[in-house]
Amino acid sequence: MEFNSNRKKYNRIYIKSLTLIFLSFIFSVMILNIIVPSKDFSEEENRKLKNKPKFTINNLLHNRFTSKYEKYISDQFILRNFWINVKSKAEILTGKKENNDVYLGDDSYLIDKFNKPSEEDFAEKLKAINTFSHDNKELSKYIMLVPNKVEVLKDKLPAFAPVENQLQYINKFYSGLDKDIKSINVFDTLNKNKDKYIYYKTDHHWTTYGAYYAYLEFCKSSGITPKDISDYDITEVNNKFYGTLYSRAGVKNVDSDIITVYLPKTHEDILVNYIDEKKKSASLFNSSSLNTKDKYSVFLGGNHPIIKTSTMNLNNKHLLVIKDSYANCFIPFLTSHFGEIIVVDLRYYSDDVSALIKDYNITDVLMLYNTNTFFEDQSILNISNYE
């Protein structure tokens, strides 16, 4: 009897101790999430993290505040990368073919999911861009929504992977645009060349080779004579690149990616002015980035609020590129066609775009985004002033 009594006593102590430890852990995590400052950028995922949304009654009533706050908590959770890695390793051990919205595809391709946009977000972005078009009728305007691997490399997805039709949303968006905006279809050329190395295996970006095919389509739409691929020296600058999807999925034993740059055989003098950072360069490539984890930032040195590139091209065409990071390896192909190229990333640029157009005598505008980022990020709404 005494043995059973002691056993029950120790069981109660054990249960209470576990409960206390668990509650202490939950309380500590909650406090740390409150006091630890939010981060703006994740080097592991190479993307801007969500910040705390502004509370308004209108946002609450339309369920925008709740959804944005959930994304904020997910991005800013304490020791987030540690928990992601733990979850990734556990699920990979069970043979799961998807982790953290990344599919483990054939031929070592890591493929990020496409999350379809809400009807409200879809409509808001259309309205913002069409308002911008109406307010700038004198400009030549182009938009390029680049399909991601999940659309072009569907044949490499795991069997029965539930995926949305990304191309359907691209075409639907194009069909709703103002008639003065030329939409550039790059799906056909990427799909035609999908057996080539046009996307990185471990990263969410396209390769420079993929960007070159899109450059040809842009030239076709804008009436520009493109440079032939033989006009470039194609140089491999790194063969040990492991990108954002590698970090997110938590996989090991996959092939590293190769980064190449395309350098014109005929030398072009350019001056690149990183305006906010107050620094200048004679090249669109930043070789020091190859010694960092984010080796893709060899193109333009990564993402910046605004960059001004002056070329030796004496024409009066001044191009404004409104973009995400997919444009970073695309822009070097444009320097022989425009006198100036102004590059703006609305995720970091907060000034008035209309004033910028006047200040730099812009004649052409190209909006270039990968489809995943375009439909997930809200910054394109800052392209115009509308209610």
> Tell me, what amino acid is at 17?
S
**Full residue range of the structural domain in which residue 39 is found:** 2-86
Residue 196: inside a domain: yes
Within this chain, do residues 23 and 158 fall inside the same structural domain, yes or no?
Answer: no
Let me know whether 159 and 301 are in one domain: yes
Q: 243 and 124, same structural domain?
A: yes
Tokens of 317: 């065409």
**Cα–Cα distance measured from residue 190 to residue 328, given in angstroms and rounded to the nearest whole number:** 18
The percentage of the chain sitting over the pLDDT mark of 90, rounded to a whole number, equals: 67
Mean pLDDT of 54-69: 61
Minimum mean pLDDT range among 138-142, 157-161, 204-208, 365-369: 157-161
The reply to whether 201 and 313 lie within a common domain is: yes
Mean pLDDT of 222-239: 97
- Among the candidates 86, 112, 127, a domain finishes at 86
CA distance 260 to 166: 27
Indicate whether 152 and 54 sit together in one domain.
Answer: no
Per the domain annotation, does 334 fall within a domain? yes
Indicate whether 95 belongs to any domain.
no
Residue 195 is predicted with a pLDDT of 97
| Predicted pLDDT at 15 | 75
Would residue 344 count as lying in a domain? yes
| pLDDT for 192 beyond 80 | yes
Out of 56, 86, 116, pick the residue that ends a domain.
86
Residues 211 and 346 in one domain: yes
**Does one domain contain both 247 and 373?**
yes
Q: How many domains does the chain have?
A: 2
Answer whether residue 92 is part of any domain.
no
Handedness of CA 194, 200, 206, 207 (dihedral sign): negative
Q: Closest Cα to residue 158, out of 205, 96, 243, 204?
A: 96
> Domain check: are 149 and 222 in the same one?
yes
The pLDDT assigned to 99 comes to 87
Q: Is residue 91 part of a domain?
A: no
Sign of CA dihedral 150, 151, 155, 160: positive
Same domain, 234 and 313: yes
Whether 96 is in a domain gets the answer no
In the predicted model, is pLDDT for residue 5 greater than 70?
Answer: no
Task: Report whether pLDDT(37) > 80.
Answer: no
pLDDT interval class at 78 (50, 70, 90): low
- Answer yes or no: do 349 and 314 share one domain: yes
Which residue type, as a one-letter code, is found at position 92?
A: I
Yes or no: say if 161 and 111 are a contact pair by the CB < 8 Å rule: no
* Angle in degrees, CA 281, 284, 286, rounded to 5: 80
Look at 77 and 285; give whichever has higher pLDDT: 285
Q: Is 94 part of any domain?
A: no
- 269 and 359 housed in the same domain: yes
- Give 346-353's long-range contacts (Cβ < 8 A, gap of 24+): 346/322, 346/379, 346/380, 346/382, 346/383, 347/48, 347/303, 347/377, 347/379, 348/48, 348/303, 348/304, 348/305, 349/305, 349/306, 349/382, 350/305, 350/382, 352/385, 353/132, 353/322, 353/382, 353/383, 353/384
| Residue type at 12 in one-letter notation | R
Q: Where does a domain end: 35, 59, 86?
A: 86
CA distance 137 to 134: 6
Which residues are registered as beta bridge partners of 27?
A: none
Could you give phi then psi for residue 285, rounded to 5 degrees? Answer: -115, 140
Query: What pLDDT is recorded for position 19?
Result: 79
Q: Residues 80, 224: one domain?
A: no
Mean pLDDT of the chain: 87
